[in-house]
Amino acid sequence: MMKENPFSVFKYQPVFKIDKYKLKKDYFKLIKSNHPDNPISSNTIDVSKINDAYKILNDDYLRAKYLTKDVDNKYINDNRNDLFLLECLEIESKINDGFNLDFIKKYLENKIEECKRNYKNISYFNKWTYYRNLLNKIS
């Protein structure tokens, strides 16, 4: 992960909700104005920093992870209950069996949306991590 604040690279406020269309336009502007092959390039920002910042800001999960990185109890066990972990194991088993993948995908997408709305709550953020990993197994 990058050390520089990805929001400051794009001169954005550090908030979760961003306009991805504007982000993409700003990304191309920054790349163009800082590209080493551009003779009139201001070249004040390393292109790799721009790419790293864009990757974080463009991904809801990575952006939420960055915004919550200073939470004191970041990765401690937030009392995830056994039922949640059992649910994840059951979902993973169904994914591995190829069982009703469209339904599972929609279910996980809905759960992720719920987590996005509550990402500042460490419990939701941790669940988002599990749901995201399960969804990636389908995709």
For the chain, the structural domain boundaries read 6-67, 82-138
User: Taking 90 as the threshold, does the pLDDT of residue 4 lie above it?
Assistant: no
Q: What is the pLDDT of residues 111-137, one digit of tens each?
A: 999 999 998 898 899 899 999 999 999
User: Taking 70 as the threshold, does the pLDDT of residue 19 lie above it?
Assistant: yes
Is 1.10.287.110 the CATH classification of the domain at 6-67? Answer: yes
Q: What secondary structure letter does DSSP report for 116? A: H
CB 56 within 8 A of CB 6: yes
CB 88 within 8 A of CB 134: yes
The average confidence (pLDDT) of the chain is 88
Cβ atoms < 10 Å from Cβ of 78: 15
How far is CA 94 from each of CA 9, 88, 102, 111, 121, rounded to the nearest angstrom? Answer: 42, 10, 11, 17, 28
pTM higher than 0.85, yes or no?
no
